[in-house]
Amino acid sequence: MRRSRLFAAALLALSAGVSWPAFASDNGEKNAAPSEDSKPLFISAEEATAVTGVDTAAEQPASGTSEDRQPISKQPEIGVSPCSPENGVSPHTQAPNKTTLEAVLRLAAKGPMVEAARHRWLAATHKRPQMVALPDPRVEATYYVVRGQDKYMFGLSQEIPYPGKLIIAGRIADKEAEAARLRYETAVRDALSDAKGSYFELYYIDRAQQVTAEIRRLYDRYAALGAGGTEVAKPKLPETFRAESQRAQLGYDLVLLREMRTAEAERLRSGLGLPTRAELGGTEDVAEPAELGETLEQLQEIATAHNQELAAAGVEIQRANYDLKLARRAAIPDLMVGANYTRMVEEMPEKNPVGITMGVSIPLWVSKYKARINEAGEMEQAARAEEDAQRLKVRADLAKAYFSLSNSARLVKLYREMLLPQARQALQSAEELYRKGDANLASVLEMTSTLHNFELARLRATADFYQNVARLERTMGTAMQLKAVEKPETKP
């Protein structure tokens, strides 16, 4: 089945927002080489400096100058600040710049793996002229050492394969180019999906740092209250020790989160092609996750129509079918035509003959052609089996991602609407009872720890939701349009 999509338009839209737009069909040539204006390129040292604010010229190899690359049309707004979380300071309170998802996706579409896949596609588009061209003509010269009437002879010959062979070879080249295009689309899709995964992992780490720092300040207050020896609830030594230990544990958690952010930021930088010194600012807020409106069956239909690996498997079947047709025509004799000129001895200059030659190849070694046909037939069956396996894999991956996404949405809703409000109310009640002397400090510490765990779980579920969206889009091969859930109004 012939598939054609506006992949360039989809790429621009993917680089400009969170969701993937659905591929549209067109009537253009789908295997044509991309134009110079649309090709993804590595960013230069000057571009990286403009994006990140860090002078990266010293880190760029001498062979890769900026003159060899085209600048991107609009610089992504990836912010860099001495207050970066990687330097131990929360981006939500001091960093003036943000790392936007739009900028991350725009750079991900120019990553090294995408560039490699693009050049493989370009290489495949140059294969058809090689496959449909005639073999090179042959020129022969013969000089007679032992002469009779002939002195020397020149000959010119041209081999002409059976016409169907060249036609089929050209179609095979077309299918190889189409498969390379699909692999390029897959590389872009995977790069954007990986970038989304890293971005939302940074989102979780940034918010977890903020929440943990706020909870730690609460423990600071509780520890000071317990050590003050006031008469309120008469705090005892075990309660004071517990407050101090919780405070120390959160200090360790903050160090761990900073190190996790450093590792995740480096992973994102490597995918974007940014130098190590380019720091990434804090991430932006995201909309509240919403439950899916489509059923699993509907998503499977979308994946069947748009998944790139499944489409490539179909192309490989067509290519294998053409290979089989070519193998069956390999035994058809090829034609050879030519002409020759013979120079006679000087005694007979007026009788220099000119001749025309014709010949055909003889398919003498039958076993060779039979083996080629058998090989091509097995490869066709293998291609069909691989398509079936890919279809089953897409179905399994889709079901897994669909469950994970739905579960994440349910968890976010559970924490947002039920558990977190209850935990906040319980903590407030525990503090009020403690101030009245009707509860001990241990109950306040327990409620504070519960609230902290619930906040982190909500953030983890939110990040998991958007990471699962990226995984689901990766399996589907196209976009998911999600409707944001409006946050409930907070009553004074």
Q: What pLDDT score does 355 carry? A: 85
Report d(CA 95, CA 466) in Å as an integer: 24
Mean pLDDT in residue range 289-317:
88
pTM: 0.72
Over the stretch 179-206, which tens digit does the pLDDT of each residue have?
999 999 999 999 999 999 999 999 999 9
Asked whether residue 69 carries a pLDDT value surpassing 90, the answer given is no
Domain 7-476 is in which class? mainly alpha
Rank 71-80, 222-231, 367-376 by mean pLDDT and report only the highest: 367-376
Q: What pLDDT score does 57 carry? A: 38
Report d(CA 97, CA 93) in Å as an integer: 11
Residue 255 CB burial class (10 angstroms; 0-12, 13-18, ≥19): exposed
Does an H or E element contain 340, and which? strand 335-344
**Structure-block tokens of residue 328:** 């069956």
Strand partners, 357: 338
Asked whether residue 464 carries a pLDDT value surpassing 50, the answer given is yes
Report d(CA 192, CA 195) in Å as an integer: 5
The bridge status of strand 150-160 relative to strand 354-360 is unpaired
Mean pLDDT in residue range 289-293:
77
Domain range summary for the chain, segments of one domain joined by +: 7-476
Report d(CA 242, CA 445) in Å as an integer: 8
Residue closest to 156 by CA, chosen among 178, 143, 139, 171: 139
Per-residue b or e along 388-422, where b marks 16 or more CB atoms closer than 10 Å to that residue's CB: eebbeebbebbeebbebbeebbebbbebbeebbee
What distance lies between CA 344 and its chain's CA centroid? 71
Long-range contacts of 167-170 (CB under 8 A, 24+ apart): 167/132, 168/322, 168/325, 168/326, 168/329, 169/131, 169/132, 169/326, 170/128, 170/131, 170/132
Per the prediction, the chain carries an average pLDDT of: 77
Q: Are 444 and 214 in contact (CB under 8 A)?
A: no
